[in-house]
Structures are given as structure tokens and as C-alpha cells.
Structure 1
Amino acid sequence: MTNQISQALSPVLFLPHGGGPLPILGDKGHEKMVSFLRKIASELNEPSAILVISAHWEEEQATITSGNHPEIIYDYYGFPAEAYTIQYAVPGNPGLAKEIYALLMACDIPARLDEQRGFDHGLFVPLKLMFPQARIPCIQLSLLKNLNPQMHIALGKAIASLREKNILIIGSGMSFHNLKTFFTNDIDSSRENNAFDHWLIETCTHPEILSEVRKQRLIEWEKAPFARFCHPREEHLLPLHVCYGIACAGTPIAKVVFNDEIMGKKVTSFLW
């Protein structure tokens, strides 16, 4: 396929999962995101497994789903009844979970396996759109409750060798996540939204930024224009830090694969 993304190392994606189940329920504010997710999936070689780092799972230590068939977690509230009947019966991958556990422990990063934990909407919403057949084994890796950006980059570096094994790695979050602004017509928010978006794109994609400078910018992301306006809490940004940690040794410069509006706010997705 001429438009297929092909590289020696498996791709790493930071992508938006939108507002709860709304992308799957046909919400018009998510139409561009839905089109993007379906398109990008068609351009990827089919992976043997998928690892998702979701904004919706935090633990004291890095935790990996290790069940054979994790259940769906409906971790959202106040949506129509159909939002709680969504199914994505994808298998887990206990063997890969154990491999990730070993990689983390080898780098002195405390880790544990969780056979009971299911898949939250940071996994099943984008993957149901990207890979609706639900046949590719999936696992999730948690964020750390300390929300330390440097530690999340280190988390990624520890598992970077997974890219050599045809494993698609997805950081599922949002480049902009000020929930209040999604539900108001605050005309001033576009200024803050666009300024931070520009900084994030420059940080991740500019070829003349040295690797150490790029890393330091991500560690000190709060210094970016309107950083705390765009991320009052950083859990939706930190999957990007894990992605960068995974990618930085092999393909440190990302490319923008989505830069459009979701529910009226500019959101960006990156591919390494």
C-alpha cells in the first residue's frame, strides 16, 4: 500500500480519545477526530499487539494489565444508556505484560501486574474506531500518581525495546484538556489553546531543537504559554511524555498527524 506508514521501528502515537464515549455515539464535535482515527489505522501495518498508556489510569507504581480477557470499564458518568452497553471484547496479552514488567524492573522502576483491572475508555474508545474487529491483543500501562514528567519520560525509555517487536504503542490523552472550556463559549480560550498548541508542536517536531533541549522543555512543560490553563491537571498530557521516552532514542522528532478541532478546541496528535 503506497500510503502505508512503514518503518523498522513500530510507530508510537500520541492521540486524543475525546470526551468519554461521545466519539462512538456519533457526536458532531468529534467527527474530525473519528475520521482521523479510522484513517491513521488504515495507514499502519497491523501490529501483533497494542500497548496503551491511558490518561485515565494512575497508580503509585507502574502497573500493567495482565488478564487474558480484561473487561470494559465504563469510567464516565451522565451519558445516555447506550454509552454503558459499548463492547470491545479484545483479548489481553499476559506474556507481553510480564515482559514489560521485567523491562521496568530492570531499570529500577517499581512495577506490578494486575490481572483484574479492565480497559478504560482511553483504550476502548479510540481502538474501537481504529481496529473495530477487536482481534489484536491489548494491554494497558498506568501513569504514575506523582504525575512527574521526568519519571514518565523514564518510564517510556525503559520499554523502548518494544518498538522492535511490531507492537503499536499509543499514548491516549489530549493535547488540550481544560474541561470547563469545552462546555462554554469563552472566546478568549482560543488564544490560550492556540499558543500552547504551537509550543507543543514546536517542541515535538522542530528538527533543530537538540534532544536534551527537547526533553527539558517537556519536563518543564508548565513554563509553556498558558500551560496550566490548557492542562489544569496534567494527566491528559503525560501519555505524551511516555511516548517521547519510548521514541527519543530511535525517532526523537515527531510529526503532526492530526491538528484540528474537537468540540471547538484545537487538538494535536503526534506520530514517532
Structure 2
Amino acid sequence: MSKVAFVSHGGGPMPVLGDPSHVQLVATVKDLTQLLPKQPSVIVMISAHWETTGFEITAGATPDLIYDYYGFPEASYQLQYPAPGAPQLARDIAAKMEAQGTHIRLNESRGFDHGMFIPLMLMYPDANIPVLQISLASSLNPVQHWEFGERLAKVLPENAVVIGSGFSFHNMRTFFAPKTVQINHDVHVFQKWLDDTVTRSDVSMADAKARWAKWSSVEGGRFCHPREEHLIPLIVCHAVAQKQGQSIPFTALDVEARHFIW
């Protein structure tokens, strides 16, 4: 059985640069590692910052880093996280997913984006654990990604850690706007729905899938996610955990960023 986590990865490289506004996020991300294996066999990362037509998986032996952010201090373009890839495992996962009817293309040249290396610099700073990154399908269809997570759960090796990297709230304009009564209402009502969906023990697998299928029509949903790429990794992780029969013991965070672990 794998351990599964969803983390909010913060603003670009700022969590690892000592930014004061990220102190709570950094602390909670580090705390999550106490509930994860110290030396997993592999980390499988689903980042909000890689979308492809269909699904792809990194298959290079030594992926480079992709500094996919702009306008930050020079130090942020010198960050290093030399985690090895796992080409043979990528091929094995792709073959097993194909057998279930889900095609994953092998990508031998793609590097690791900041949705991967920023949280892992905090969680597994030694960078000595093999990492595979899986893209989002550009459809961003919640049911497609839920079903992908169900199938992925069946093909993971023993002692793997699956990490979704995104945000539970990702309305960039609102991040920097005054927090009005209406904004606070919209954020809180959706976060309550999200918490119920992910953490309530009486939400079955079928219920969860049905709830995610309609997330954008939930009050506050589309306000919190004008575009849902930062939410989709949570859907994949929730499906993986549900398929493996895991319940959620831990939820932490403030109103704009939640972490979950199974």
C-alpha cells in the first residue's frame, strides 16, 4: 500500500527562500513528512504545472529542473534538487496502465517543474529518492482524472509515496485583493465542501467520484478555481487513496491552502 498526500506548494520558489508569508505553509509541509515513509521506494508526483494531451510520465534517468516561474530573485534560478528518475519503473507503470485501458506516454526528456521540486526540497531535502512525475491531461476533466487515480492505485510499487502538488484555492486576483465579506463567504463555503468530500468517513468512493464530477457547480467552486489545474492533483490523490481503502487522518491549514494526507 502507498502513502498519499496533497500539498499546497506556495508561490513559485518563495517557500524555500525564507519568505515570511510562507512560514505556516513551510511548517505544515515539513510536518507532513512525519506521517510519510522516511525512505519510500519512489515518489510519484502529480503537479499542477504539467499538462499534456492525454497523460505522460517522466522516463529519464536524471531529469533536469524546470524553473517555470518568472520575476523572482536570482537565487531561485540556482536551486538544485538532483533526485534520480526511475525509467524502468516508468515503463512498468505505463505498461500496466495500458493493460487497464489508460495510455501514458513515456517522456524521456521532460524535467521536474517547481510544483515538484519546491515541496520536495522541504519534505525530502536529501534528493536521494527516485521520483516520477505524471502530467495532468489537458482536458482537466475531473472524472477522467478520478478514474486515472483509481487505476494508478493498482500499479504502484510497495512503499511508494504519491504526492499531489497544487492548491485548494487558486484565484490569483483574489490572493492580492482585500478580503471582503463576500470573498470570505465564497472561500469558506467551498473549503467546507472540499473538506467534507475528502475527510468524511461516510463519503463512499462512488459518492466522492460523483461529488468531484460536479465540483465546479458547488457554491464558491469556480470562484476558488477560475481554472482548475491546481485542484486536479487532489482529485487524483483522493482516488488513489480511496481505491486503496485508506481514510484520511490529518487535515491542516489556513483558508487558502490545505494539505491532506492518507
TM-score interval, smaller chain: over 0.9
Q: Secondary structure at the match of 2:57?
A: strand
Q: Secondary structure at the match of 2:82?
A: coil
Say whether the 8 Å CA contact 1:13–1:271 is kept in structure 2.
Answer: yes
**Corresponding residue for 1:6?**
none
Alignment partner of 1:11 is 2:3: yes
Query: Residues of 2 paired with 1:221 and 1:168: CA distance?
Result: 26
Equivalences, count: 260
Q: Mapping of 1:22-171 within 5 angstroms?
A: 22-45=14-37, 46-163=39-156, 165-171=158-164
Note the residue ranges of structure 1 that are not aligned, 5 or more in a row: 1-8
Percent identical among aligned pairs is 43
What residue ranges of structure 2 are gaps of 5+ in the alignment? none
Contact 2:6–2:261 under 8 Å retained in 1:
yes
1:215 paired residue number: 209
How much does 1:252 deviate?
A: 5.1
Counterpart-to-counterpart distance in 1, 2:172 and 2:234 = 19
Mean CA deviation greater in 45-54 or 180-189: 180-189
1:268 aligns with 2:258: yes
1:251 pairs, out of 207, 226, 245, with 245
| CA offset digits 1:148-183 (Å, max 9, x no partner) | 100001111111134551110001111100011112
Instruction: Please state whether the residue corresponding to 2:85 is helix, strand or coil.
Output: coil
Deviation at 1:19, TM superposition (A): 0.8
Distance change in 2, residues 1:43/1:212 (3 Å): closer
Does the Cα contact within 8 Å between 1:74 and 1:121 map onto a contact in 2?
yes
The letter of the residue matching 2:22 is: H
Per-residue CA deviations over 1:94-136 (Å, capped at 9, x if unaligned) read: 1111122112211211221011000001100000011111100
TM-score of the superposition, structure 1-length normalised?
A: 0.91
Give the aligned partner of residue 5 of structure 1.
none
Structure 1 SS opposite 2:243: coil
On the 8 A contact 1:256/1:268 being kept in 2, the answer is: no
Amino acid at match of 1:38: K
TM-score by length of 2: 0.95
